[in-house]
Amino acid sequence: MSDIVLETRGLVKEFGGLRAVDGVDFVLRRGELRCLIGPNGAGKSTFFHLLAGTLRPTAGGIRFKDLDLTRLEPHEIARAGMGIKFQVPRVYDQLPVAENLWLSAHVRHGRAAAGTVADRVLDEIRFLQHRNTPVGHLSHGDRQWVEIGMVLAAEPELILLDEPTAGMTHAEARRTADLVREINRRATVIVVEHDMDFVRHLAAGVTVLHRGAILAQGSMDEIRDNPVVRDIYLGKRRRARG
Amino acid sequence: MDLLAVTAFGTVYAIATLVLLALGLAVIFGMMGVINLAQAELLMLGAYTVLLATSHGASVWAGIALAPLVVGLIGVVIERTIIQFLYGRMLDTMLATWGLSLALVGTVTLVFGPTTEGIATPLGYQTIGRYSIAHYNVFVVAVALGALGLTYGLFNYTGWGLVARATMQNATMVAGLGVNPARVYMATFAYGSALAGLGGAIMAPLTGVVPTLGLAFIAKIFITVIVGGPVILLGTTTSGAVLGLVESIVSYASTPMYGQVAMLAFAIVLLRLLPQGISGFWRRGV
């Protein structure tokens, strides 16, 4: 058995004439923590949706463990052990925090055990005091936490986090980085992120996407020293910040 | 005094039948958003299940117990062959279910004929002074309460109910959690169909069984669910209570026909004042 958890081969997604993802070959090994960065429109979110099964690729293949993901429905992909946190929090606003977590836990753990798992996760994300609060009453940052909690409750083998710190304060983002590293002890993780401080804090492998293709891969230091990446991404940001 | 007791029970009974008949639609239309114009025919099929059971020597009770199972299974078939392709397409759903309704009435007429078949009402009478109350009517009220309690408990206090509510709110999201929304939809539609089958079966000994049986109820039950508003089960129960009350008061004061007219007129006024339905403002309160 190889230790490759996720592998894409020549992955392409076209919207009309636009190639949002253009021939991506991506390999992820078990236990890895990988950050996916790139400027807006680089194809990060599309790539994510292809992995989650919410979009179907135009060409190419995706293997998750020994499954061909391009043939599976989103709920089958989730059952196979992939947990996804999208950019916009996908939580049930009318339902209490505990019930959101229960919903996420019950598929893997069964209905009887799901309550215990939900309680454990509540403690883990430090949300015990919000147990019965409808998620809609929480702040944007807290709703992000609930969704991270939902991913944890499902105990997936591979976790995809799309901009987990969007809408969070600096301190909250730090706490999230610590949590992501904690999660990484149990599962393989891919994080899409804009916040370079956060990526640096994670100290993870980095893949740079640009115009739908992989531009560079390596450690954060290698990426920072890569002149092409500097030019199209980091440099531009630095100049923009002035 | 006796008259008061009998009238009071008559009102409770009117409310109970309305809620019982509307309950299946509350699930299918209220929760799932499927405008099922064949809902009346699901009631009719429940009634025919009782007729078939009794004509084959089984008791009325066996027929009533069988009806939810039979009509629930028919619900599964309808959902798999028609409804599953039409979620979110309101006009197409109306057209398809209207066609289904005509087809079901036509088929049942071909097989069983267009005549009204009677089923003897079981159980006896309870006399109260100069008046009497049929025991079967008490049974109807009990079944309505039971079905309502069961449905409320199922959706609010079980894991399956939580998954069902989550699926109705956002199907893509539950799929991301590993739940197959298609199966939840199928099960919920089947449950709504089974409730309709139960309602039709309970009414069979009272109304007689005829292929067009459901036509008498379809407008009433849709209005009850619509007036009920967004808090589906309690809303439907409340609107059933209000509308059933209006209907039976006017019926006692004049004739049952005016009772129906008064009920529909009242529903229109109510929807004019509360366009969201009776429970429309409950949510804001919470």
Q: Hey, how many other C-beta atoms are within 10 angstroms of the C-beta on B156? A: 11
| Residue A172 falls inside a structural domain | yes
A133 to A65, A87, A97, A99, A128: CA distances (angstroms): 37, 22, 6, 10, 10
Residue A2 — very low, low, confident or very high, per pLDDT cuts 50/70/90?
Answer: low
* Cross-chain CB nearest to B176 (options A90, A95, A108): A90
Residue environment code for B60-97, b if the CB has 16+ CB neighbours within 10 A, otherwise e: beebbbbbbebbbebbeebbeebbeebbeeeeebeebb
Inter-chain residue contact B169 with A92, CB threshold 8 Å: yes
- pLDDT, position B44: 94
- pLDDT, position B121: 80
Domain of A115, in residue numbers? 32-42+80-241
Give A234→chain B minimum CA distance, Å: 33
Cα–Cα dist A161/A85, whole Å: 5
Overall size of chain A counted in residues: 242
Contact predicate A45/A23, CB 8 Å: no
- pLDDT, position B286: 32
Inter-chain residue contact A107 with B176, CB threshold 8 Å: no
Assign residue B121 a region (left: φ > 0; alpha: ψ between -120 and 50; beta: otherwise).
beta
- pLDDT, position A242: 41
We report the CATH number of the domain holding residue A176 as 3.40.50.300
DSSP three-state, residue B89: coil
| Residue A94 falls inside a structural domain | yes
- pLDDT, position B95: 92
- pLDDT, position A233: 65
ipTM score assigned to the predicted complex: 0.75
List the helix and strand counts (H, then E) for chain A. Answer: 9, 10
B196 to A84, A158, B144: CA distances (angstroms): 39, 44, 12
| Residue A19 falls inside a structural domain | no
| pLDDT tens digits for range A141-176 | 788 788 888 888 888 889 988 888 877 788 888 888
The pairing of beta strand A18-29 with beta strand A4-15 = antiparallel
Best mutation target among B31, B170, B173, B177 (most A Cβ atoms within 10 Å) is B177
Locate all alpha helices (DSSP H) within B82-180, ordered by sequence.
Answer: 90-112, 135-157, 159-169, 171-176
| Residue A71 falls inside a structural domain | no
Give A218→chain B minimum CA distance, Å: 30
Give A225→chain B minimum CA distance, Å: 38
| pLDDT tens digits for range A42-69 | 888 889 889 888 888 999 889 998 888 8
The pLDDT of residue A114 is above 50 = yes
Cα–Cα dist B172/B44, whole Å: 35
A241 Cβ partners below 8 Å, 6+ apart?
Answer: none
* Cross-chain CB nearest to A78 (options B165, B166, B177): B177
| pLDDT tens digits for range A17-29 | 888 888 889 999 9
The residue of chain B with its CA nearest to that of A108 is B178
Looking at the complex, does the CB of residue A111 fall below 8 Å from at least one CB of chain B? yes
Contact predicate A33/A202, CB 8 Å: yes
Average pLDDT value over all residues in chain B: 88
Which parts of A55-210 are beta strand (E)? 59-64, 67-68, 82-85, 158-162, 188-192, 205-210
Q: Which residues of chain B have pLDDT under 50?
A: 284-286
Residue A218 — very low, low, confident or very high, per pLDDT cuts 50/70/90?
Answer: confident
Inter-axis angle of helices B159-169 and B181-207, to 10 degrees? 110
Locate all alpha helices (DSSP H) within A154-219, ordered by sequence.
Answer: 170-184, 196-202
Looking at the complex, does the CB of residue A79 fall below 8 Å from at least one CB of chain B? yes
Structure tokens at B125: 């009478």
* Cross-chain CB nearest to A104 (options B175, B177, B180): B177
Contact predicate B105/B212, CB 8 Å: yes
User: What pTM did the predictor assign?
Assistant: 0.82
* Cross-chain CB nearest to A103 (options B166, B172, B181): B166
| Residue A72 falls inside a structural domain | no
Looking at per-residue pLDDT, the higher value among A123 and B197 belongs to: B197
Q: Hey, how many other C-beta atoms are within 10 angstroms of the C-beta on A70? A: 16
The pLDDT of residue A221 is above 90 = no
How many structural domains does chain A have?
1
Cα–Cα dist B28/B35, whole Å: 8
| Residue A103 falls inside a structural domain | yes
Sheet holding A213-218, edge to edge: A82-85, A158-162, A188-192, A33-37, A205-210, A213-218
Structure tokens at B214: 């459901």
| Residue A88 falls inside a structural domain | yes
| Residue whose tokens read 């026909």 | B257
Looking at the complex, does the CB of residue A97 fall below 8 Å from at least one CB of chain B? no
Cα–Cα dist B49/B68, whole Å: 9
| Residue A55 falls inside a structural domain | no
Overall size of chain B counted in residues: 286
The pairing of beta strand A4-15 with beta strand A59-64 = antiparallel
* Amino acid at position B47, single letter: A
User: Cβ contacts (< 8 Å) between B172 and chain A: which residues?
Assistant: 54, 74
